[in-house]
Amino acid sequence: MIVVAVVGILTAIAYPSYTAFIQKSRRGDAIATLADFRIEQEKWRANNITYATSTASLGLSGSSRDGYYTMAIVSAGSSAYQVTAAPAGAQSTDTCGTFAIDENGPDYSGSNADADCWER
């Protein structure tokens, strides 16, 4: 009985830490995929008068590399764009929420993930 109690206490302490660690490691999925989008947007812009408005135009999926984030091109024009990575599935409870980039790099504005969330 004591063993069961000890295991229960250890589980109650360890599980939240484990979950936080897993979610933090999955953030790399969003960051890496956003880097792919940034590269592809700049390649697209080098050959067109505007940035691409769809993931298909860039040859990319609407999901991140490992599928933990839903990717979207929120806006695109001749001189600017914004791409977001919204947590999905098992990652949807992550406190960092949505990651975003624009033509200048990470976008920390509004409800987007802050600089601390971008650390790996």
The pLDDT mean for the chain works out to 91
Beta carbons of 35 and 105 less than 8 angstroms apart? no
Q: Answer yes or no: is pLDDT of 120 > 70.
A: no
Q: Is 103 exposed, middle or buried (0-12, 13-18, 19+ CB in 10 A)?
A: middle
Res. 6: pLDDT tops 80: no
Could you report the per-residue pLDDT of 35-60, keeping only the tens digit for each? 999 999 999 999 999 999 999 999 99
Domains contained in the chain, CATH given: 2-118 (3.30.700.10)
Of 3-7, 36-40, 93-97, 114-118, which has the strongest mean pLDDT? 36-40
pLDDT recorded at residue 10: 67
Spatial CA neighbour of 66 closest among 96, 113, 25: 25
Pairing of strands 105-106, 81-87: unpaired
Q: How confident is the model over 70-92, as pLDDT tens digits?
A: 999 999 999 999 999 999 999 99
Closest CA to 31 of 73, 64, 74: 64
Kindly report the pTM of this predicted structure: 0.86
